């Protein structure tokens, strides 16, 4: 496990977190089938596919994913991740998990759930090269909670990513905002999870251009050959 702490910004107006002290964001790098080198393949910087977790890979829950029984994979998501496992790209999850900071679930429990999700992805032939998770609440005013770009920038530093040549897929406008702030070149909203409602919000019309697909599987099916050269 790789911990990359980003302490909350110190402001007089920011209320104290309900969690004991500030919790660092972290990157969790599981063992995987990935053949992509840490310093890039062919001597180049890596391209990445950034994925939100809840609402893109598994179903969102209004009361948060707090136990394994809450996990339900979205139709086609595991197949899409299996397709992506064959490509020379980094597959990186960037996820807000404020249930930890709210004291609704322990970090240990959150990690155990996430590990089981990764095992299911691996068993289906997919891979995830790394995960960057923000456990803070909005009131913590941290640097990593989307729509701030901290998770993306951490990942770029760890994996030597070319953000301008990378893609982000999320189900919330905050995913797209964070990706844009980090310089991610292509941003996609899927209509699973919160996506259908988020797409109708007035704020959606004020964001830089983004693509919309029904699901992660549909988005991957429409990736250009240049992004998935091995498929």
> Is 175 an annotated catalytic residue?
no
* Within a domain: 231: no
* Within a domain: 17: no
Inform me whether the pLDDT recorded for 177 exceeds 70. yes
Domain, as residue range, for 204: 23-32+42-221
Dihedral angle sign, alpha carbons of residues 99, 123, 144, 62: negative
CATH of residue 213's domain is 3.40.50.1000
* Within a domain: 99: yes
| Cα–Cα distance for residue pair 145/132, rounded to 1 Å | 10
Q: Mind listing the pLDDT tens digit for each residue in 186-217?
A: 999 999 999 999 999 999 999 999 999 999 99
* Within a domain: 194: yes
| Cα–Cα distance for residue pair 77/67, rounded to 1 Å | 20
In this prediction, what percent of the chain has a pLDDT beyond 70? 78
> Is 54 an annotated catalytic residue?
yes
Give the chain's domain count.
1
* Within a domain: 120: yes
Catalytic residue among 54, 122, 129, 175: 54
**Mean pLDDT, residues 171-178 taken together:** 98
Inform me whether the pLDDT recorded for 226 exceeds 90. no
Q: Mind listing the pLDDT tens digit for each residue in 124-149?
A: 999 999 999 999 999 999 999 999 99
pLDDT at 8: 47
- Class of residue 200 by CB neighbours under 10 A (exposed 0-12, middle 13-18, buried 19+): exposed
Q: Mind listing the pLDDT tens digit for each residue in 11-56?
A: 343 333 333 333 344 444 433 333 333 444 445 689 999 999 999 9
* Within a domain: 2: no
């Amino acid at each position: 496990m790789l911990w990359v702490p980003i302490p909350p910004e110190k402001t007089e107006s920011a209320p104290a977190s309900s969690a004991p002290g500030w919790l660092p964001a972290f990157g969790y790098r599981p063992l995987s089938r990935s053949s992509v080198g840490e310093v890039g393949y062919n001597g180049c910087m890596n391209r990445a596919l950034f994925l939100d977790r809840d609402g893109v890979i598994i179903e969102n829950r209004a009361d948060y994913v707090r136990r394994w029984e809450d996990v339900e994979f979205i139709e086609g998501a595991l197949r899409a991740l299996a397709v992506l496992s064959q490509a020379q790209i980094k597959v990186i999850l960037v996820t807000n998990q404020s249930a930890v900071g709210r004291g609704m679930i322990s970090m240990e429990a959150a990690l155990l759930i996430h590990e089981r999700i990764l095992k299911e992805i691996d068993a289906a032939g997919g891979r995830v090269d790394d995960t960057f998770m923000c456990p803070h609440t909005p009131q913590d005013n941290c640097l990593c909670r989307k729509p701030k770009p901290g998770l993306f920038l951490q990942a770029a530093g760890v994996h030597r990513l070319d953000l301008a040549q990378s893609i982000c897929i999320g189900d919330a406008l905050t995913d797209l905002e964070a990706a844009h702030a980090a310089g991610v070149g292509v941003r996609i909203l899927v209509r699973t999870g919160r996506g259908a409602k988020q797409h109708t919000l007035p704020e959606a019309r004020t964001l830089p251009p983004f693509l919309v697909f029904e699901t992660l599987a549909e988005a991957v099916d429409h990736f250009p050959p240049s992004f998935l050269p091995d498929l």
